[in-house]
Amino acid sequence: MTTSRSHSGRMYEFWFRPVSAAGFGMMRSAFGLIAFVTMLLERENIQRFYGPEGILTRDMTGNVLRSMWRFSLLDYVGVYGTWLLYAILLTSLFCVMIGLGRKWMLLIAVVVLYSFHEYGSITLDGGDTFLRLIGFILLVSPCYRTFTVANLHRRLTLIRNTGKDQPATERCMPMWPYRLLLWQMILIYVSSSIEKWSGSMWRDGSAVAATLHLTDFTRLSPEIADVLSFLSPIVGYFTIFSQLAWGMLLLLGLMSFCGVLTREALNVFKRALLLCGALLHGSIFVLMDIGTFSLTVFAAYLGLLLDDDFRAIRQRLNTRIREPLIVLYDGRCGFCKKSVFALSMLDWLHRIEFASYHDPDNKKRYAPTISLHALNAEMHLRLQDGSYKKGFFAFRALTWHLPALWLLAPLLYIPGVSIIGARAYTFIADHR
């Protein structure tokens, strides 16, 4: 009886253990962004590649495209219908990206994107195929539990009505969609490494050098490609064996399932593979123009991040952070509560604590020498050294600790921006 319960418990943990849906939410947004930008850049070629009188006319499709297991809505529309489907595709992809419309919008986006890919298959590459595959995985997963407009509204309503955020358990999903994505990645990488090893150029180390000299794909000049060619054997073998190592996840996963290996050890190995993959695909993206494949891989990597991975990333990035920053805000102000909620949503690294100065304990602990009048006038930020910044300058200091605002942070130091920003902050604070 005990053994039976142990096995059922392990099976439940393997397939249905609740994990954060944040990774799949980010993967959904990345899928929408990549597909949206890719198709938007094709706007001048819509009729040429996908129209009924384009390169592939309607009467040619049966001779050029496969007839079995093929479906495309473009087979049934004319010129205006093609433009209508294109508009529907862009609209649905944008909604998927920002998390609007829930699962039915994702269904529309995947079906219409598939229709364009199937009709214009002569222009497709591996990145398009992989992107479509991610769309299907997202369709069968609860990817709309995070990073959506509906979830944001629900959390704001709870904050306003109860003063408490949504329980983290409501932003979780079962383990099986993660397994589905992971096994698909393993299949892609292992089959790719086997295919590479079957070719003589990968075994003799010349494949990378030859690729860097292909004028249709490389971003390098022939001179630079010649200089980098000596790295070809090293990069080639690194590529093959780092991809083949993904197959080890199956063995290590089985060992973890049987209790021989800890979950943390398995996750450490997975993070090492993700780091190697990021290095590999990042280099491909910088050095070569091969479509969206590298970007699509990065989107899939987001879906492979679980709770333990997010914690490990935060610990790595917070090694020099001794104590959190303290944001002192007006806990009786509805606008201030919403602003604090927005900042907490962006505090992915968990570096910030929010304290209402109307709480006597918070006032005594964090701002004993600051008057209530000054605290009411503008937000105060207590830094790690005990000093304070306020108003616009407090917000500017916060941007360095909020990853989503890192690109904005340097712009706030442009001469003149602080003057405009301080005045804008004062105006908003006076009319909140």
Complete DSSP assignment for 224-287: HHHHHGGGHHHHHHHHHHHHHGGGHHHHHHHHHHTTSS-HHHHHHHHHHHHHHHHHHHHHHHHH
What is the separation of C-alpha 247 from the centre of its chain, rounded to a whole number of angstroms?
A: 24
Higher pLDDT, 422 or 274: 274
Mean pLDDT over residues 14-38, rounded?
A: 94
**pLDDT at residue 193, rounded to an integer:** 94
Mean pLDDT over residues 356-385, rounded?
A: 87
Could you identify the residue written with the tokens 């090492």? 272
Higher pLDDT, 210 or 338: 210
Residues 270 and 302 in one domain: yes
Q: Is residue 320 part of a domain?
A: no
pLDDT band at 137 (very low <50, low <70, confident <90, very high): very high
Residues 334 and 370 in one domain: yes
Distance CA 132, CA 120 (A): 14
Residues 68 and 115 in one domain: yes
Mean pLDDT over residues 411-425, rounded?
A: 89
- 123 closest CA partner among 49, 58, 63: 49
Tens-place pLDDT, residues 165-196? 778 788 899 999 999 999 999 999 999 999 99
Mean pLDDT over residues 116-142, rounded?
A: 88
Tens-place pLDDT, residues 85-108? 999 999 999 999 999 888 899 999
Residues 392 and 295 in one domain: no
Answer with the one of 279, 310, 341 that is the final residue of a domain.
310
Mean pLDDT over residues 206-231, rounded?
A: 90
User: Cβ-count burial of 229 within 10 angstroms (0-12 exposed, 13-18 middle, 19+ buried)?
Assistant: middle
Q: At what angle are helices 232-244 and 176-197 packed, to 10 degrees?
A: 140
Q: Is residue 319 part of a domain?
A: no
CB 296 within 8 A of CB 127: yes
Backbone angles phi, psi at 327, to 5 degrees: -100, 115
- 178 closest CA partner among 267, 97, 86: 267
**pLDDT at residue 106, rounded to an integer:** 95
Q: Is residue 5 part of a domain?
A: no
**pLDDT at residue 1, rounded to an integer:** 45
Which domain CATH number covers 366?
3.40.30
Residues 286 and 330 in one domain: no
Residues 30 and 122 in one domain: yes
Residues 119 and 198 in one domain: no
The top-scoring range by mean pLDDT among 18-32, 42-56, 157-171 is 18-32
pTM for this one?
A: 0.87
Q: For residue 301, which amino acid is it?
A: Y
**pLDDT at residue 63, rounded to an integer:** 63
Residues 25 and 150 in one domain: yes
Residues 153 and 116 in one domain: yes
Q: Is residue 164 part of a domain?
A: no
Both tokens of 359, joined, read 């709480």
One DSSP character per residue, 62-122 reads HHHS--TT---GGGG--HHHHHHHHHHHHHHHHHHHHT-SHHHHHHHHHHHHHHHHHHTGG
Distance CA 233, CA 430 (A): 64
Residues 194 and 148 in one domain: no
Both tokens of 209, joined, read 């050098």
Residues 128 and 37 in one domain: yes
Mean pLDDT over residues 391-399, rounded?
A: 90
Q: Is residue 171 part of a domain?
A: no
DSSP-derived secondary structure letter, 325: E
Answer with the one of 131, 159, 187 that is the final residue of a domain.
159
Mean pLDDT over residues 298-311, rounded?
A: 94
CB 279 within 8 A of CB 236: no
Give the mean pLDDT of the chain.
88
**pLDDT at residue 282, rounded to an integer:** 94
Residue 332 has pLDDT above 50, yes or no: yes
Answer with the one of 102, 125, 159 that is the final residue of a domain.
159
The whole domain housing 153 covers 19-159
**pLDDT at residue 45, rounded to an integer:** 87
SS3 389: strand
**pLDDT at residue 238, rounded to an integer:** 94
pLDDT band at 143 (very low <50, low <70, confident <90, very high): very high
Residue 5 has pLDDT above 60, yes or no: no
Q: Is residue 13 part of a domain?
A: no
Mean pLDDT over residues 353-379, rounded?
A: 87
Higher pLDDT, 112 or 256: 112
User: For the chain, what is the radius of gyration of the CA atoms?
Assistant: 26
What is the separation of C-alpha 348 from the centre of its chain, rounded to a whole number of angstroms?
A: 13
Element (H, E) at 20: strand 19-20
For the chain, what is the domain count? Answer: 3
Q: Is residue 342 part of a domain?
A: yes
Mean pLDDT over residues 143-165, rounded?
A: 81
- 432 closest CA partner among 333, 358, 299: 333
Q: Is residue 332 part of a domain?
A: yes
Torsion angle in degrees (nearest 10) through CA of 193, 194, 200, 201? -10
The top-scoring range by mean pLDDT among 105-114, 155-164, 220-229, 370-379 is 105-114
Residues 245 and 377 in one domain: no
